Amino acid sequence: MIGFVLFFAWLGFGGDLIFYLSTARETPWENEHYRHVVPWFGIALTLIGMIVARYAYRTGPQKVLWATGAREVSDPSNDGERQLVNVVEEMAIAAGLPRPRIWIIPDDDPNALATGHDPRDSHVAVTRGLLAVCNRDELQGVIGHELGHIKNLDVRLMTTLAALVGAVALISDGIGRGLGRGRFGRAGGGGGGGRKGGAGAIILVLLVVWLISWMLAPTITQVLAIAVNRGREYLADAMSAQFTRNPLALVSALEKIEGAGAPTTAIKRGTAHLCIVDPLGRRLGRREGWLANRLATHPPISMRIARLKGMGYAQVKKEGGLTV
C-alpha cells in the first residue's frame, strides 16, 4: 500500500515537474501566462492515492464477492450446500479459526477463493462446479487451502491488492481517454515554444516517461499482486495438508480442477490471484523459471501436486514406522 501511494505521488509530482519546467521562463500573471510553482498535482494525487488505498482496504472483500456474482449460503437448500457448510465448519475447527462466511459463485468451472481482512472477517467462496466434481475429502482439501490463506492473513494483502488493481485500472482508463481526446495535449504549451537545447529535451524525456507510467500503471499494480502470490500458494497447500492430515485429497482436487474444460468466467483478471488455481488458464502459470515466477499468479499445478505427494509419502512412511 505504501508503494501504491508512492507510485501515485510520482505520477503527481512528476507532472508538476514537467509543468514547472515548461513554464519556468514565464513571469507569473504577466500577459496572462501561468507559471507553475505550487505542486498541486502531486499533492492531489498523493491524497487520492491514500484515499483509494484506504477505501480499497475497507471495501475490498465486498467488491471481490460482488464482482464474482457470489451468493451467500445462509440457509443450505440442498445436499451439496449442506456438505459445504459442514466441511467449512470442520476445517475451521481444525485450523483453530472462527467459521468464515460461505459463498457460492454461479460458475460451472471448479475453483475457490478466500477474501477478508482477518479471521474474524473472512469469507470462503467456491464455484458451483467445484461442488459438482469434488467428493467430501477433496472439498476438505480445497477448503483447508483457503483457510490456510485466512490463517496466514494472505487474504488481507491479496484482497487489498485486488481492489487497488481495479482502482488503478479505472483511473488509467480515464487518463487514457483524456489523452485520446487531446485534453492534456497543452500541458507543456505555455511559453516553451522558443526554448532550445537541453531544457526542451529534458522536458520531452520526462513527459514521455510520465505518460508511459500512466499507461503501465495497471500492469505495474498487477505485477505487484502477482509477485507476492506464488510462495503463498505453496504454503496454503502445506497448511491444507496439516489441517486435513490427508495431502492426497488436495492432490485429487487439483487434478480435477486442472482437468476442467474452460476458464472460470465469473472471476475476472483483477481477482485471479485470489483463487486456488489460475481461473484464466494462462500458459505462463504452467511453467517454472524467472519470468514465470514474476508474471504468473500461481505456481504450476504439477509442482504443487509433486510437493503434496511428497508430504503424503512422508506421512505414510511415518505411520508405517509407528506401526512397526
> In DSSP terms, which residues pair with 147 in a beta bridge?
none
How far apart, in whole angstroms, are the C-alpha atoms of residue 280 and residue 274?
A: 12
Residue 39 C-alpha cell reads as 505542486
How far apart, in whole angstroms, are the C-alpha atoms of residue 66 and residue 105?
A: 10
Q: What is the DSSP annotation of 43-88?
A: HHHHHHHHHHHHHHHHHHHHHHHHHHT-EE-SS--SHHHHHHHHHH
Kindly give the pairing relationship between strand 121-127 and strand 101-105.
parallel
Residue 193 C-alpha cell reads as 515554444
Burial of 81 per CB tally in 10 Å (0-12, 13-18, 19+): middle
Q: Indicate the DSSP class of residue 270.
A: G
| Amino acid identity for residue 107 in this structure | D
Q: How far apart are the first and last CA of the chain?
A: 53
- 146, 233, 258, 288: the catalytic one is 146
How far apart, in whole angstroms, are the C-alpha atoms of residue 87 and residue 254?
A: 17
Q: Are 128 and 105 in contact (CB under 8 A)?
A: yes
Other Cβ atoms closer than 10 A to 35: 17
Question: Is 233 annotated in the active site?
Answer: no
How far apart, in whole angstroms, are the C-alpha atoms of residue 227 and residue 47?
A: 26
Q: Are 104 and 68 in contact (CB under 8 A)?
A: no
Residues taking part in catalysis? 146
